[in-house]
Chain A
Amino acid sequence: MIRPVEGWFAKVGRSYRVTLEHAGALGMLSWDTLVSIATLKVRLKDILTQLHIMGVQSLPIVFVTATLAGIVTSQQGGYQLISSSPQYILGTLVVQSVVLELAPLLTAIVLVGRIGARITAELGTMVVSEQIDAFKSLGRDPISIIAAPRIIAGVLTMPLLVGFANVIGINAGMLMADFDIGLGRETFLYGARLNWHSWDLFYGFAKSVVFGLFIPVISVHMGLRTRGGAEGVGLQTTKAVMFMILSILVIDALFPPLLLQ
């Protein structure tokens, strides 16, 4: 009778310990990165390389995702609203949905798969092949060389990609509204302007900065904790993707009570 209860408490205790370990390590990693930036140890060339990988190379997939998000929102909005509300409301719906939620969230999810998984697998491989140890043995700081450029690039890239996704998503939604229910561009934009708040744009970008910080921080953290060989890298990458997606969804849920009151 006592054993299952003991086991349950042990499980809860372990979960808390692991959570606190992750939180502590993430905090340390963020702090070390800030120190690297403040002491100018991060090379501009490394940051530019990461900006290219995370930003420029992500444009096609962000374009496709934002286009589809805009199209689907427009179609479903049109279907739901056409009989009950003025058609221009569709402009409000598409713009608000894209700017407040879809562009930041979907871009973040895309970056988790494209960038986060890549960083964890790359760093995990460097750990198991002793390349991280080699950096340390040569007196180099792996945080300055590997972690900091990725984290800086993440924070800078995400808002730009979200801005791009906003433009693409809204335009795709507007075109689909015209094609689907014959809603003209002027009417669509009238609806969009009717309920527009500049704060919404800030809200979306604020989200994107936080996502842009969390994706590389978590992926670097998980990559550096990799143990074992190829199997360890695969396992850690899977865990990292789950960790990043859950974190993004939780952060996303925290934003409305904090910034939309």
Chain B
Amino acid sequence: MISYKNIHKAFDIPVLTGVDLTVETGEMFALFGPSGTGKSVLMKTTLSLVVPDLGDVEVDGLSVYEGPSSNLEKIRRKIGYVFQHAALFDSLNVYENVSMGLPEDEISRLTTAELSRRVWETLEIVNLEPREILSKLPSELSGGMKKRVGIARAIVGRPEILLWDEPTTGLDPINTAAVERLIKRLSTELEVTSLLVTHDVEGGLQMCDRVAMLSGGTLRFVGTPQEFKDSPDTVVRAFVDRAAAIAALDMAVV
């Protein structure tokens, strides 16, 4: 379970102004909102990649900011983070990138053969052909492949929680659909808690158990996908309508 408690964050101007949100264990949760409303910022506070000005985050009862520093290390082991643009390490090949997803002590425990098998299996889980890409550098991969390698790196350590930061940004509609199927399948097969930040409202509504919407620095809505679609709130309605129009345009392009 992830609990965000009264999170405040400002970068010259306030971005988050007192956000309280709980993502239950085993749940698949989507966070929507217009650009610049702090969705990714909120997600990054989970791993202290962005430190809030005020407030705390708890992961399975462990406090990130008010507990001992060892909490953060334990929390990082529990969480796999999929970055918006994959954030693969440029100088490392696919094999090295994916194996970096394992904790250092685990890498030193595994034999070379075991480590290779682990990386190989993980790449197969994300529908990549290991033989073809293991030795390739990120610059030699397509956008969709980079995303999958980024996902492989996030799940290779068998995390209990997956944080997905705009996983379909920059992908064409066909790759978007493929990555969304992958997210749904992995969340179910690996039995993880998933928090998904996305612009793709249609995809998020289809995949997730609950959704929330950030607007003006606070949570505007928290509920089920159906409640979101039926919300009488004018801001939520306007957002849903605009998202539907963009999705229709995407489909027309395809």
Q: How far is the CA of A110 from the CA of B104 in the complex (A)?
A: 37
B100 at the interface (CB under 8 A from A): yes
A138 is contacted by which of B48, B84, B85, B101 (Cβ under 8 Å)?
A: B101
* CB pair A131 B89 closer than 8 Å: yes
Q: Given the interface contacts A129-B87, A131-B89, does A137 sit within 8 Å of B100 by beta carbon?
A: no
Residue numbers in A under 8 Å from B103 (CB-CB): 139
A136 at the interface (CB under 8 A from B): yes
* CB pair A133 B100 closer than 8 Å: no
Please, which residue of chain B has its CB at the minimum distance from the CB of A137? B81
Interface of B is mostly: loop
Per-residue B-contact encoding for A132-170, CB less than 8 Å = 1, 0 else: 011111111000000000000000000000000000000
B83 at the interface (CB under 8 A from A): yes
* CB pair B83 A130 closer than 8 Å: yes
**Interface window among B15-23, B59-67, B71-79, B217-225:** B71-79
* CB pair A137 B77 closer than 8 Å: no
B44 at the interface (CB under 8 A from A): yes
B90 at the interface (CB under 8 A from A): yes
The number of inter-chain residue pairs (CB within 8 angstroms) is 45
B49 is contacted by which of A125, A129, A133, A139 (Cβ under 8 Å)?
A: A133
Q: Given the interface contacts A137-B47, A139-B104, A140-B100, does A130 sit within 8 Å of B85 by beta carbon?
A: yes
* CB pair B84 A130 closer than 8 Å: yes
Task: Find the residue from B48, B76, B88, B89 having the highest chain A CB count within 10 A.
Answer: B89
* CB pair B89 A133 closer than 8 Å: no
* CB pair B49 A137 closer than 8 Å: yes
* CB pair B83 A134 closer than 8 Å: yes
* CB pair A138 B87 closer than 8 Å: no
Q: How far is the CA of A125 from the CA of B91 in the complex (A)?
A: 12
Q: How far is the CA of A117 from the CA of B85 in the complex (A)?
A: 25
B100 is contacted by which of A126, A129, A130, A138 (Cβ under 8 Å)?
A: A138
Q: How far is the CA of A183 from the CA of B193 in the complex (A)?
A: 81
A139 is contacted by which of B73, B87, B90 (Cβ under 8 Å)?
A: B73
Chain B stretch 102-131: residues in CB contact (< 8 A) with chain A: 103-104
* CB pair A139 B83 closer than 8 Å: no
Q: How far is the CA of A131 from the CA of B48 in the complex (A)?
A: 15
Give the shortest distance, in Å, between B227 (CB) and chain A (any CB). 32
Residue numbers in B under 8 Å from A131 (CB-CB): 87-90
Give the shortest distance, in Å, between A230 (CB) and chain B (any CB). 13
Residue numbers in B under 8 Å from A137 (CB-CB): 47, 49, 76, 79, 81, 83
Q: How far is the CA of A137 from the CA of B77 in the complex (A)?
A: 9
Please, which residue of chain A has its CB at the minimum distance from the CB of B97? A134
B44 is contacted by which of A133, A138, A140 (Cβ under 8 Å)?
A: A133
A136 is contacted by which of B47, B77, B88 (Cβ under 8 Å)?
A: B47
Q: How far is the CA of A129 from the CA of B205 in the complex (A)?
A: 28
Residue numbers in A under 8 Å from B79 (CB-CB): 137
Give the shortest distance, in Å, between B110 (CB) and chain A (any CB). 16
Please, which residue of chain B has its CB at the minimum distance from the CB of A130? B87
Q: Given the interface contacts A130-B83, A133-B87, A134-B81, does A139 sit within 8 Å of B44 by beta carbon?
A: no
Q: How far is the CA of A138 from the CA of B153 in the complex (A)?
A: 9
Residue numbers in B under 8 Å from A134 (CB-CB): 81, 83, 87-89, 153
Per-residue A-contact encoding for B169-208, CB less than 8 Å = 1, 0 else: 0000000000000000000000000000000000000000
* CB pair B76 A139 closer than 8 Å: yes
* CB pair A133 B76 closer than 8 Å: no
* CB pair B84 A139 closer than 8 Å: no
Top 9 A-B pairs ranked by shortest CB distance?
A130-B87, A134-B87, A137-B81, A139-B76, A133-B49, A130-B83, A137-B47, A131-B87, A131-B89
- Identify 9 residue pairs between A and B in the complex whose beta-carbon atoms are under 8 Å apart, listed by A's number: A125-B90, A126-B90, A130-B83, A130-B84, A133-B87, A134-B83, A137-B79, A138-B101, A139-B103
